Amino acid sequence: VEADVCRLADAPSQTRCGTPLHFYSNIDFKEEIPSVRNAGAEGVGLFRSENLFIDNTKPPQEAEQQAYYSDMAEALAPDPLVIRLFDIGGDKLIYSSIREPNPNLGWRGIRILIDVPDILDSQLLAILKANTRRNIQVLMPMISSIEEITQIRTTLERHVLALRESGTTCDMPKIGAMIEIPAAVLLIDEITKMVDFISIGTNDLTQYTLAVDRNNEIVQDLFDKFHPAIIRQLHTIITTANRNSCKVSLCGDMGSDPLALPFLLGCGLREFSIVSADIAQLKSIARYLTVDSSRQLAEACLTLDSAAKIKERLKEYQAQHV
Ligand code: PEP
Ligand code: MG
């Protein structure tokens, strides 16, 4: 596997049976764009835009955002740039000075954007104005209800119309939802009929499903993405999205785990967004896998009732195939 890694950076990615896979990069800053290119990614699948917050507390001005997004979109075009709307609050940036007893269950992500229209409006306008190459897509963080999606979409449409009326050419960008809260998994049929794409956030999905703080060392042993409750949700999310012809990718850290790859493939996932440095290794492992054997593996994992048994099964598969 290691010998293949360098060679594969530029090769199109596919499994042993010839099924194409698509790898995109997760990035925090525009300075990472050259490494996206070098890693052989097909674009940016997750830009964590909250990194633009000034001193971790103040939202950047619309003009500043527009210039930043525009530089990125230009450098990547025609490949996609998925900008996730500011995911502030929780364990991330402290936008407000209010101290919350349970920040991860508090004012975070889409909740702040809906409550503070100035922040949402300036980000959406900056995105729409920067989208001259038409390769920007908008990703909504921390979605837990249908109403949140409707509100953001309505706001976006209103801005598109207003910009057109003022003479600016502007398209409605593709809009997607992060699936990272169990409530969104239970609504996945509806959600995948409302959006252009979904992106699975396994870091928060693990945290919120297992009620284990992703940053609390005391309970890190319990933070296990191979827990059957996660494995089964992933299968539901991916199969439902595919059935509803909604594009689905995964942008949580799980996408970088070679052990998880055949399971995800077997569920029907074909798009991954991961840190650039891991792409070559994942591409090289994919070349040992077949869709048929991965499908059997996924089905077997769905019948197992513990993370230990699931990991054992995945290791067996890896030993046989990779
Ligand atoms: C996730 O939750 O898995 C994710 C990709 O988003 P973040 O790690 O930025 O919360
Ligand atoms: Mg998240």
- pLDDT tens for 75-121 read 999 999 999 999 998 866 666 777 888 889 999 999 999 999 999 99
Buried b vs exposed e over 50-69: b needs ≥16 C-beta within 10 Å? Answer: bebbeeeeebbebeebbebb
Using N-to-C axis directions, what is the helix angle for 228-243 and 307-321, rounded to 10°?
70
Q: Average pLDDT of the chain? A: 95
- The DSSP secondary-structure symbol of 97 reads S
Determine if ligand 1 sits within 6 Å of the CB of residue 251: yes
Work out the percent of the chain whose per-residue pLDDT is above 70: 95
Residue ID of nearest Cα to ligand 1 atom 8 = 203
Determine if ligand 1 sits within 6 Å of the CB of residue 48: yes
Determine if ligand 1 sits within 6 Å of the CB of residue 256: no
CA of 46 to the centre of ligand 2 (A): 11
| DSSP secondary structure string for all residues of 204-256 | HHHHHHHT--TT-GGGGGG--TTSHHHHHHHHHHHHHHHHTT-EEEE-SGGGG
The angle subtended at Cα 259 by Cα 253 and Cα 262, nearest 5°, is 100
- pLDDT tens for 24-78 read 999 999 999 999 999 999 999 999 999 998 777 788 999 999 999 999 999 999 9
Give the contacts of 186 (CB within 8 A, at least 6 positions apart). Answer: none
Instruction: Tell me: pLDDT of 2 over 60.
Output: no
Work out the percent of the chain whose per-residue pLDDT is above 90: 89
Which bound ligand lies closest to the C-alpha atom of 275? 1
Instruction: Tell me: pLDDT of 183 over 90.
Output: yes
Rounded Cα distance, 138 and 196, in Å: 10
CA of 95 to the centre of ligand 2 (A): 17
The angle subtended at Cα 81 by Cα 215 and Cα 29, nearest 5°, is 50
CA of 294 to the centre of ligand 2 (A): 27
Which bound ligand lies closest to the C-alpha atom of 92? 1
The atom of ligand 1 lying closest to the CA of 199 is 5
The atom of ligand 1 lying closest to the CA of 252 is 3
- pLDDT tens for 262-289 read 999 999 999 999 999 999 999 999 999 9
Which bound ligand lies closest to the C-alpha atom of 249? 1
The SS3 of residue 295 is helix
Contact 245, 268 (CB under 8 A): no
CA of 320 to the centre of ligand 1 (A): 31
- Determine the residue type at 239: T
Taking the model in full, what pTM does it have?
A: 0.96
